[in-house]
Amino acid sequence: MADIKSVGVIGAGQMGSGIAHVCALAGYDVFLNDLDGDRITAGISRIEHNMARQVGRGLIDDAAMKAALARIRPASLEVVAGTDIAIEAATENEDTKKAIFRSLLPHLGANTLLASNTSSISITRLASTTDRPERFIGLHFMNPVPLMKLVEVIRGIATDIATYETAVTFAQSLGKTTTNAEDFPAFIVNRVLVPMINEAIYTLYEGVGTVESIDTAMKLGANHPMGPLELGDFIGLDTVLSIMNVLHEGLADSKYRPCPLLVKYVEAGWLGKKVGRGFYDYRGDVPVPTR
């Protein structure tokens, strides 16, 4: 199996910065890339803030935080391509992800493993964009990465066993529990979770309940820590819609049809917490339902 010492992360948003965070704490040299240099700066600031919170809670000490932060460096795609494993953590759009892997190709090290953090898109299709489908794997981290314990590991049809075993060992070295998922639309977690969110939106759309009543019902009636509409806002309604489209197109089953109200919210730019408004308005001191 490959000896992983350096990790490249492409995408410095919430997921990419979270992956960089846990890799640096685990002792890996981390090279963080994004098209926008300001996003790299913001990503590193987010990592520092989140690590400081861990220090405050006694989960890590100050020395561990300082050592981890020193391991994270901004990097070009050329540098990322030379790491032991390069993890793509860009927006959930197949064309965008394929473009990233194509741009890496001319610079890849001979032994570099490639991974995608996609939450729904075919690993086999993404791998076919590269020159090494046998060294390509899906590593689906959960959000927020520093807190969530699971990583779904997904093999494409051409992924070899050594790549899979290396990926599992790597994910477990980050303190994560791994589960194997087959390469079908949305894998395990989002195959179950996102249609539930979509059904909650249908329940709102059809007037069965209000935003508050739906979320309260699922929190208290099903013991969920967060209601499905609040969870959709947390994930990002654009991501929820993207995953529903992948399920609908990939499985050709009408039960995966995105709710028209979800489509309207995305068209309006009401994408959830990250923009301040989704099924709740987050711009005040207390979130207020928008319907």
Q: Is the pLDDT of residue 8 over 90?
A: yes
Mean pLDDT of all residues in 170-178: 97
Domains of the chain with bracketed CATH? 6-181 (3.40.50.720), 189-289 (1.10.1040.10)
What crossing angle do the helices spanning 14-25 and 37-56 adopt, rounded to 10°? 50
User: Which is more confidently placed, 270 or 2?
Assistant: 270
The pLDDT value recorded for residue 3 is 86
CA dist 1 and 163 (Å) reads 7
Please confirm, yes or no, whether 119 is among the known catalytic residues: yes
Mean pLDDT of all residues in 133-140: 98
Please confirm, yes or no, whether 111 is among the known catalytic residues: no
From 33, 120, 190, 198, the catalytic residue: 190
pLDDT, tens digit, 9 for 90 and up, residues 244-272: 999 999 999 999 999 999 999 999 999 99
Q: Is the pLDDT of residue 173 over 80?
A: yes
Q: Is the pLDDT of residue 197 over 60?
A: yes
Retrieve residue 124's tokens: 């086999």
Mean pLDDT of all residues in 209-225: 97
Please confirm, yes or no, whether 140 is among the known catalytic residues: yes
Q: Is the pLDDT of residue 139 over 90?
A: yes
Q: Is the pLDDT of residue 191 over 70?
A: yes
Is the separation of the CB atoms in 265 and 279 below 8 Å? yes
Mean pLDDT of all residues in 217-231: 97
Mean pLDDT of all residues in 105-109: 94
Q: Residues with Cβ < 8 Å from 60, sequence gap 6 or more? A: 25, 51, 54
Mean pLDDT of the chain: 96
Retrieve residue 91's tokens: 């927006």
- The pLDDT confidence band at residue 142, using thresholds 50, 70 and 90, is very high
Please confirm, yes or no, whether 180 is among the known catalytic residues: no
- The pLDDT confidence band at residue 1, using thresholds 50, 70 and 90, is very low
Mean pLDDT of all residues in 53-57: 95
The pLDDT value recorded for residue 2 is 61
From 92, 117, 140, 198, the catalytic residue: 140
C-alpha pair distances (Å), 127 with each of 19, 101, 113, 122: 20, 9, 11, 9
From 152, 230, 242, 248, the catalytic residue: 152
Is the separation of the CB atoms in 120 and 239 below 8 Å? no
CA dist 164 and 153 (Å) reads 8
CA dist 278 and 194 (Å) reads 16
Percentage of the chain exceeding pLDDT 70? 99
Nearest to 44 by CA among 8, 84, 63, 16: 16
Residue 144, judged by CB atoms within 10 A of its CB (0-12, 13-18, 19+), counts as middle
pLDDT, tens digit, 9 for 90 and up, residues 62-99: 999 999 999 999 999 999 999 999 999 998 899 999 99
CB atoms within 10 A of CB 53: 12
